Chains A and B, each alone.
Chain A
Amino acid sequence: MKKLSILAGKSVLFLGDKMHRGSSLPGAVALKLDKELMKKIVLPKKVIAVTGSCGKGSTSKMIAEVYQKLGYKVAHNYREGNLAYGVMTTLIEYSNLNGVMDADVLVLEVDERYTKLVFPIIKPDVVVITNISRDQPPRQGHFDLVLEDIKKALTEDMHLILNADDPYLQKIVLDQKFKQVSYYSLEKNKYSTKTSLCGNLNMTHCPKCHQPLTYDYYQFEAIGAYHCSKCSFKTPKSIHHGTKMNYEKRELTIDDTYQVTIPYDTLYCVYNTLAAFTTLSVEGIDPHQISEAISESSYNKKNFNHYQYKSREIYVLNTKNENSSTFNHALMFLNQHKKNLKTIVIGWDVISLRYAYNDLSWLYDIDFEVLKKHDIDRIICLGINRYDLATRLKYSGIDTKKIFVYEDLKKAQGSIQKRTKGDVYAIINFNYMDDFNKMMKDGEK
């Protein structure tokens, strides 16, 4: 049965690749034939899992890439299927018909709500939890419920890799013991702030004694250098620090020693890089080799694009709907360019592909208020919620004369290309990314 299920999965994988539907269907078919198949696969000696609300895809990809460059045989769910079926697909892809995986290391991105199903079977040695943020409220409820689920998946024998700057992640280790917990952090830099630029934070009070948290500085949302105003709760000690950052050159210095060229100049990219670096370092890879390999990492165009259009700079920032943190990251990116005139394009054609709910609450977790500090020519609101977006912008104190609404990208094309001025920051959903880039490329002709 095992052989048959694996064979079936592999056949679907082959067909799926032809039809561009390869990420979850093969795993689904194989599990249908043999429910216990995941348990029967002989895994590589080393299993690394990456989970969290944001950044698990990029971080796991970076870890897998470094291993590959250093000559390891790596199994990784590069097809992006990160639920149970997607994980199964990956296991089948790298297995022979006897169910033995041909890899030295398995690097898996796992959806945060599926960790409790997947971890007991694949038993990762190392678990990276990037963050637990406000994400898909209709699906997730709220961050504490995501935390509860992840905690169910974690066991004592695991080595955790966590962001020390995120006080919320401390809730994982407060009442649970682990083999080891290794932290990374980013030191104060010119973009750090005295108060958080974001309003609705997941944590403002000490998780131990509920007194207010005090910050030396903030990096983003509730992330920064914190300590409790009453008890001993504070930022834990890190083994690797981002000590210097130069966004213009895309350079990150780690521990004052290692120079890494990061794929693109955003704060989340810095944290993802630190997570990958720390994971590889605790696995015994030489930090110089890690830095070199990350610096050669292929540019992931899925999340970020930068190009010129008729001598205007165009930045395309991919955001996820129902995830205010991705929008806040995009807005904070604007703070790197303080003086230029800006046109903002923002929108999506559907809130969620996962379900039919049209929850709009998360729009008010996005701190559009930061736009007031910039020299804005126009803000173009696109898509199905264009008036909801325009309303949100109105209540962030932006001059309503600068807000324009269009039903879709096509209808906004003339306005974006001919009537707006300054550099363009497109804060858009993934299904607008290709169309937007094509539109700008065609307009250049």
Chain B
Amino acid sequence: MNFTIAHLYYDLLNLYGENGNVKVLKKQLEDQGIKVTIKFLTIDDELNFKDYDLVYMGMGTEEHQALALKHLRKYKDQVKDMIEEGKFFIVTGNSIELFGKQIITKEDKKLRGLNIFNYEAKQEDFRIVDEALFKCEFTKKYILGFQNQRSVLLGNEYPLFRVISGTGSYPNASSEGIHYKNFYGTYLVGPLLVRNPEFTRYLLRKMISTKNNRFQIKKFNFIVENNAYNDFLEHHYKEFITK
């Protein structure tokens, strides 16, 4: 089996070590005997979404985010069709804002989004910087993450996570992220998939079986990742594990 990951705007949207997410997917798929190709694509490239099994996008500065948005707008219809058809999108950090109606900048400029989802993002005078402990429907395990963003997301109809501890889409929100068909989006930055092996295992199984439902999936090796996960919970969220 071959699997193609498009790492979109890899050189512009890489603010908080998001390449870790691509690294974990590649290695784990390869350990299953799958041939993985990563296409590193940016604003100088032509995109063809039909060629990719998974699209990944990470977090960028406000300037880089605007450059990426300008480029991605050219593919608006293609992106919309692909999401409707069930193409896998994993989108982290402020990249999720590109898929909404608009981004209202700090200078009160309105940047037109791809208008695939109904939400809009608003850049604030404050930053949301916070540890996150979330829950989702795909695993019983907590989701560990970190938020570091200038904007809030308002009007989201398809949340991905429930906030257990932390901030969410805006201060005191009860949810965070976007889940629609195979589109998974979240403000959680950095190596989210490395830090949450159970969530990643779920995504990997789904990606593989969507491509070939007769593929024999071997046991995944997440030993060190689980040690890191358990250690972190033990050190920082003790009250949540004893419950």
Contact = CB atoms under 8 A, between A and B. Distances in A.
A403 B223 CA distance: 13
Contacts of A210: 43, 67
B239 to A, nearest CB: 15
Interface residues of A, number: 36
B109 to A, nearest CB: 16
Contacts of B43: 205, 210
B61 A204 contact: no
Interface in A365-395: 365, 384-385, 387-388, 390-392, 394-395
Contact of B224 (A142, A143, A390): A390
A209 to B, nearest CB: 11
Interface string B7-34: 0000110111111100110010000000
A403 B228 CA distance: 14
Interface in A335-368: 357-365
Contact of B191 (A138, A141, A363): A363
Contact of B12 (A204, A361, A390): A204
Interface in A91-137: 137
Interface residues of B, number: 39
B127 A141 contact: yes
B220 interface: no
A364 B19 contact: yes
Contacts of A199: 14, 19
Contacts, number: 106
A141 B17 contact: no
A144 interface: yes
B146 A357 contact: yes
A391 B232 contact: no
B122 interface: no
B23 A200 contact: no
Contacts of B24: 395
Given A141-B127, A395-B27, A364 B191 contact: yes
Interface of A: 137-138, 141-144, 199-201, 204-205, 210-212, 357-365, 384-385, 387-388, 390-392, 394-396, 400, 403, 405
21 contacts: A137-B15, A137-B148, A201-B11, A210-B67, A358-B146, A360-B195, A361-B148, A364-B18, A364-B19, A364-B23, A364-B191, A365-B17, A384-B235, A385-B228, A387-B224, A388-B195, A390-B224, A391-B194, A391-B224, A395-B23, A405-B227
A-B pairs, 3 with minimum CB distance: A364-B17, A361-B190, A361-B16
Given A199-B19, A357-B130, A388-B228, 16 more contacts: A138-B148, A141-B129, A201-B11, A205-B11, A210-B43, A212-B44, A357-B131, A357-B146, A359-B146, A361-B146, A365-B16, A391-B224, A391-B228, A395-B20, A395-B24, A395-B27
